[in-house]
Amino acid sequence: MRVLIVPMFALSRMGGPWSRAQAIADAFARAGHEAVLGVAPDGNCIAPRVLHTFEMPAPSPLGLPMAIASRTFPLATKLGIVGRKPVHSYEEVLWLTGNLAPSYVRESVDLLRDFIERAGIDAVYSEFSIPAIIAARLADIPVFGSHSYPTQASYASAPAKAKGLRKLLGELGLPDIDSSLELFTWLEERFVPSCPELEPFDGGVTFTGFMGEPPELGDAQRNVIVVYLGSGSVPAKAVEPTVLDAFSDSDVDVFVAGTEGERSSGNVHFAPRFDFRSLLPRASLFVHHGGQNSVMDALAYGAPQVIVPGKVFERLFNAESVERAGAGIKLDRFDAASLVAAYERIQSSDSYVESALELRKQLVSLGGADTIVSAISSRMGS
């Protein structure tokens, strides 16, 4: 079986779709199938691990000319402007990143349809890629894909942002929709990289848990704090002084990733990136922005979480789910007093680690990307 896996592309830092697409492609290759991975020059598609790739364009934020958007969007993110704007639905994310711009969708669909025919693709996997779903539908081949509870149109949507897409679908002779999120209902099977306790679907989906192979848990002492707030939820200029105010007098080392330069101030260390694989097994606390990858990384290592989701709907949902499951605390404000209070609350009880480890056990049991390969192979008869 020859499968084309296409992630959602975006010029902003968005590692989730790419890392999950990589894990799915790896799983197909391990099972003896030929996996082709869609890539684009968006800054996220780094070091593909499979032999075959297919180059696609990157969307321009807000559908603006790329020469303008490639300069203004990163600046707005750095200044925290993006984070101060509430994002109420995944449809708004698709619109903001340019993934609903009719010109981008049409160009991508045309390229995909041509490649599907030339390369003899048997099935398409959409890692939240709108063009991949449309192209597979037009090519009349099965399309599968990833899904999540807050990306349902019934959870939250912004149909006004899909006006141009609706017109394009009509021109292509495809069924009418209200919200672009309805395209995820066109998938033959929807796979959720989570578990029922975190994403309470009534049915109709297949949970996979961790996409990659979870790490072995050692017996390292939990004696560090890890901070990674990504982009958007907290302005970069606010992160360093707040963390210093909260933890500079503590007796644990604090590692803050995502800063521009490398430096240390006593027990607090700043760098663009750290090796989370070496830090999270020792983390007594992981402070992050609520992205799906960060939530799963924390659970993979049984690390208690403090989540600062800002005004982004999906991060808010993730933060509330983790808090409800007893594995962390959601912060509405990013200030030193709130950070210290959350840390002390977590340190005063073993329940946070115990809840994280119980969730980890559930996630491991769901089979990861191998579950996707097994399900699709069964449907395809291969």
List, for residues 23-58, the tens digit of each pLDDT value: 999 999 999 999 999 999 999 999 998 889 999 999
- Going by C-alpha positions, the residue among 281, 249, 282, 279 that lies closest to residue 266 is 249
Residue 81 has pLDDT above 50, yes or no: no
CATH class of 2-209+366-380: alpha beta
Give the per-residue pLDDT at 218.
82
Task: Measure CA 241 to chain center.
Answer: 27
**CATH number of this structure's domain 224-365, picked from the four choices 2.60.40.10, 3.40.50.2000, 2.40.30.10, 3.40.50.920:** 3.40.50.2000
Residue 321 has pLDDT above 90, yes or no: yes
3-state secondary structure of 343: helix
List, for residues 104-142, the tens digit of each pLDDT value: 999 999 999 999 999 999 999 999 999 999 999 999 999
Residue 12 has pLDDT above 50, yes or no: yes
pTM for this model (two decimals):
0.92
The identity of residue 182, as a single letter, is E
List, for residues 211-238, the tens digit of each pLDDT value: 988 888 888 899 999 999 987 678 888 9
Cβ-in-10-Å burial (0-12, 13-18, 19+) of 56 comes to buried
- The answer to whether domain 2-209+366-380 and domain 224-365 are alike in fold is yes
Give the Cα-Cα-Cα angle 351, 369, 4 (nearest 5 degrees). Answer: 145
Domain ranges (residues) in the chain: 2-209+366-380, 224-365
Angle of helix 292-300 relative to helix 15-30, nearest 10 degrees, comes to 60
Contacts 24+ apart (CB under 8 A), 345-352: 346/284, 346/285, 346/304, 346/306, 347/284, 351/326, 352/304, 352/326, 352/327, 352/328
